[in-house]
A and B are shown apart, each in its own frame.
Chain A
Amino acid sequence: MRNLLQFIGKNIHLLLFIALEVVAFLLITHNVAYPRSTTLSAANRIVAGMNEAGDNIVEYFRLRKDNEQLNNEVCLLREQIQLLENQIEKQNEYGLVCDTAQYEYAHLGYRIIPAKVVDITTGQEHNYLTLNKGTRDGLKQGMGVVCGNNVVGVVSRVNEYFALVVPIIHTNINISARVKKNGQLGFTHWEGHNPRYVNLMEIGRHIMVEKGDSVITSGMTATFPEGMMIGIMDKVKLNEGGNYYDIRLRLCTDFRRLRYVQVLNYVYSTELNQLTDEQYD
């Protein structure tokens, strides 16, 4: 016993060091893939509040870029209004026959919740975004996040005031994707390093694809409606022995300049889940 106490007394600093490192490693192993709670993350109310305060100062320096982005979106919306107006006009002219294909998008049943990015990391392998909206604004785990027509990521953790989003540039997330021109399905995978590019996996070698092809969301999950832009093919390589292409996509979303995003709330998610749950019961 005395020897033990002596040993502890002699090595007290080493033991304390080991104890603290063990705590740190437990935290890492528990949280490295996906954060288990929002307490120890940037969605923590104090940290997110701090970031928001800092953001309010820096915001003024980015007004020009933000305006440009908003302007682009306004133009897009005007175009759509024009399209719909023409449609109504035609309807009035030719009677009550209605081309419902034009309204498909609205029938998909997504509500849009606008949010602001208060914190973002792009240089890590496990990147995160923090949004200034939480459960009280209707955000839930698993909702898709987009910026205009471009895919950003998926809501991972929510507390009352803030939400943590796993972006497409996170090594553990795959987003179901589709080659726009021929409908081929695949999924995205981020290798790390560069927040501008992701890889597109499992496009078989018999399929014709080339540089410049657009890749969109597949619509196979309720997270995103079909047709949101993911990226443009930037490098297409076919390995001698491989079954699949090596495809690199240039992301449409510029994560370094991401400021305002929209969270997609699929209105029928309860019904959908109910159905899939029934199937597995």
Chain B
Amino acid sequence: MNSTIKHILRFVCLLALQLLLINNLHWLGAFHPYVYVLALLMLPASMPRWVEMFIGAAIGLLMDACCTTAGVHMAACVAVAYLRPLLLGQFVQDTQRIVTQVCTATVGARPFLLTVATLIVVHHALICFLEAWSLEHFGWLLLTTLISSAVTFVLAFLYDRTQQ
């Protein structure tokens, strides 16, 4: 129960950070780190997969409403929610044991960082490409994706440090 409240609180804080601060900073006009995805990435691994996907869909829809992007964040978040257990399963033997949250302290540094890095890139790439809805500026979209992902990853890494 305590852990549920923590997850909700974290999501609210990340959402506020995303909407009030990060969306108002203009990173050279192009780079958009989406840190809110961290709330989805750190959910306990013992969670049933369908619950995780519905949470992903809900978070995505909420972000869509906030950014006027209609479905883009939803698609990206659902993909992340679907892929996360598969990726974690590659690194961690018994995922059901992780009932609090997924972080370095519970799954180990390498599995955590690899999973998070992959999923952040997937998430950001989907958002960039779906929002543009064309491949006209492929190179640019790729660059935006990579730099935004890097910024999000650094923030995720720093946040993870505080969870020791």
CB of B139 to closest CB in A, whole Å:
11
Q: Are A47 and B70 in contact (CB under 8 A)?
A: no
Interface size class of B (residues with CB under 8 A): 35 or more
A190-216 vs B, CB cutoff 8 Å, 1 = contact: the mask equals: 011111100000000000000000000
> By the criterion of a CB under 8 Å from any partner CB, how many residues of chain A are at the interface?
44
Q: Are A27 and B64 in contact (CB under 8 A)?
A: yes
Contact of B132 among A35, A47, A125 (CB under 8 A): A125
Partner-binding segment picked from A11-19, A70-78, A97-105 = A11-19
Partner-binding segment picked from B73-81, B88-96, B110-118, B154-162 = B73-81
Partner-binding segment picked from B3-11, B19-27, B100-108 = B19-27
Contact of B50 among A13, A27, A51, A123 (CB under 8 A): A13
A57 to chain B: which residues have CB within 8 Å?
20
CB of A123 to closest CB in B, whole Å:
5
Assuming the contacts A17-B78, A192-B137, asked whether A24 and B71 have C-beta atoms less than 8 A apart, the reply is: yes
- Find the A residue at minimum CB distance from B83: A17
Q: Are B78 and A21 in contact (CB under 8 A)?
A: yes
B125-151 vs A, CB cutoff 8 Å, 1 = contact: the mask equals: 000001111101100100000000000
Q: Are A24 and B29 in contact (CB under 8 A)?
A: no
A25 within 8 A of B: yes
B99 to chain A: which residues have CB within 8 Å?
none
Contact of B29 among A16, A28, A195 (CB under 8 A): A195
Q: Are B133 and A32 in contact (CB under 8 A)?
A: yes
Chain A interface residues toward B at CB < 8 A: 12-13, 16-17, 20-21, 23-28, 30-32, 35, 40-44, 46-47, 50-51, 54, 57-58, 121-126, 128, 130, 164, 191-196, 256
13 contacts between A and B (CB under 8 A): A13-B53, A20-B56, A24-B60, A27-B64, A27-B70, A35-B68, A41-B68, A42-B67, A42-B68, A124-B67, A125-B132, A126-B131, A192-B132
Chain B interface residues toward A at CB < 8 A: 16, 19-20, 23-24, 26, 29-32, 49-50, 53-54, 56-57, 60-61, 64-72, 74-75, 78-79, 82, 130-134, 136-137, 140
